[in-house]
Structure 1
Amino acid sequence: MLTEVTRYYQRGGETRRLDAGSGRWEFLRTWDLLARLLPPGPLAVLDVGGATGVYAGPLAAAGHAVHVVDPLPEHVAAASALPGVTAAVGDARRLDEPDASRHVVLLFGPLYHLIDRADRIAAWREAGRVVRPGGLVLAATISRYASLLDGFAKGHLDDPVFAGMVEGALATGVHRNPDAVPNWFTTAYFHRPDELPVEVAEAGLELERIAAVEGPLWMMARLPEILADEQRTAQALAMMRELEGVRELWGAGSHLLTVARRPA
């Protein structure tokens, strides 16, 4: 893993990132999608790039056998301390896991930190190798336009360095934080929606669906207020279920969730 990316996560931002605001909305929407997409359990789940176990913990609590693989020892230590979760240091491109050994493989972190397309395909293929025939691979990716929208929402585009980062990401998909500014996201690859079906097919998997995770709501200034109210949160979740498959909105979100299946 790139040293800059390692330093970014060693600062501990991933530990609390999903606790409030747009991060909390990302978690709620991702969990809502998981609840609807996963087959009846208990399941053997491999959480690749699972960080501190933010999804592994709830999945284990729901009765699934969850193993986290992450490149950072700090993340592995935190995840393995969760009840029912095991964890090990590893690389998404070369998984130390038996063929066809899991019902579900999650790729919620790796694909947007693999700048080279060949590495992303390798991660897809490894997930396809490890999952059982007919099993699911669920992958999160960041939208090509996320830094542009975030830059306007948070005022980062007033900084010419950030504006240059956005221009680079829009042109090539590669987002680079040249000075490792702490409150800006680290080096990453931002997908266009039309790249995902091609990557899935090249890895030998079958595309089932693509869903918007946060949708446009992640940019709303009132989002924390909505999430603080149980009834409004339920309304937002219900409405996003109706909109998650609308292609015209995919580019306006921060993340997409791609659902693929290993051929039976």
Structure 2
Amino acid sequence: MDRQSDEIVAYYTERYREDLRLAARPQARLERARTLELLREYLPAPPARILDVGGGTGEYARALVALGYRVRLLDLVPAHVAQARAGHPTVDADVADARTLPEPDDGYDATLLLGPLYHLPRRADRCRALAEAVRVTRPGGRVLAAAISRFAGPLDFAATGRLDDRMVEEAAVLLTDGRNDARLGFTHAYFHRVEELLDECRTAGLVDLVVDGIEGPAWIAAEAAAHGPMAETVFAAALRLARVYGREPALVTASAHLLARGTVRDPSDIGRDRPDLRA
């Protein structure tokens, strides 16, 4: 592994509990609920074979196993893999880097990249991870890749009352540079614009591209209301709006996370090289 990968592993091993993340804040609860809905909508029917790359501690993998999918999980962090194996239902899991997958060509009906892209600051590495996902997915299969929106951090800080001068300066920097400043608390990361995410997916060989905003535009309202008497009412409203506005082009990047989905080109099909630009 390179130095940044080592630092990411150390962050998730020593400083952050990924296994608790999706049940914590309103944003994370919205992320979990909407991601599961989108997976059920976009994945082929069970018992399709799914590769969950960067699958963390197995939150989504376990949900898919319970639905009847055959799932294999790969993650960079050994502690995550151990938790994925130990959970219930158990998950077939191993340590691996998204840029070099230890899997055969065309071995899966769909591949998920729900974490790796935003931990790869270099475009070449993100395209490599996407190309690996394409390689291990059969022609006609789906690749679903998550990214953090370019604007998620500053919106989060504003919604939770933490927007200080330093974060305002960071918001201005992020307009042209998507690399996260690790000194602000998160580890090495890259925050996407929709057009960048589409371009990287297209470069990797995916077609029929669509991008959803996962949490919808009202996640910041749910964060702002989190400790007040209207917390659950606002959360429910945010979830409803996420379902309505998930693919509205003007609002996609208002979500904290983006979900790109594309199809692995069938070599015999030469007419499907235009992405869906509605997102």
Tell me the TM-score normalized by structure 1.
Answer: 0.90
SS of structure 1 residue aligned to 2:262: strand
Partner in structure 2 of residue 56 of structure 1: 61
Structure 1 residues 63, 194: CA separation in 2 closer, same or farther (over 3 Å shift)? Answer: same
Distance in 2, Cα, partners of 1:39 & 1:204: 20
Please report how far the alpha carbon of residue 9 of structure 1 lies from its aligned counterpart in structure 2 after TM superposition.
1.1
Q: Is the 8 A contact 1:22 1:223 kept in 2?
A: no
Query: Is the deviation greater in 42-51 or in 15-24?
Result: 15-24
SS of structure 2 residue aligned to 1:137: strand
Distance in 2, Cα, partners of 1:17 & 1:206: 32
Distance in 2, Cα, partners of 1:204 & 1:74: 32
Aligned pair 1:14/2:15, yes or no? no
Query: Is the deviation greater in 29-38 or in 200-209?
Result: 200-209
Partner in structure 2 of residue 217 of structure 1: 218
1:118 is aligned with what amino acid?
A
Identity %: 44
Please report how far the alpha carbon of residue 223 of structure 1 lies from its aligned counterpart in structure 2 after TM superposition.
5.5
Structure 1 residues 246, 164: CA separation in 2 closer, same or farther (over 3 Å shift)? Answer: same
Q: Is the 8 A contact 1:217 1:223 kept in 2?
A: no
Partner in structure 2 of residue 171 of structure 1: 176
Distance in 2, Cα, partners of 1:66 & 1:185: 29
Deviation per CA, 1:50-96, whole angstroms, max 9, x where unpaired? 00001001111111111110011000000112324110000100000
Partner in structure 2 of residue 138 of structure 1: 144
Distance in 2, Cα, partners of 1:144 & 1:213: 14
Q: Is the 8 A contact 1:61 1:84 kept in 2?
A: no
SS of structure 2 residue aligned to 1:258: strand
Aligned pair 1:102/2:104, yes or no? no
Moved over 6 A (4+): 224-227
Gaps of 5+ in 1: none
Partner in structure 2 of residue 251 of structure 1: 253
Tell me the TM-score normalized by structure 2.
Answer: 0.85
Aligned residues: 257
Gaps of 5+ in 2: 267-279
Please report how far the alpha carbon of residue 194 of structure 1 lies from its aligned counterpart in structure 2 after TM superposition.
0.9
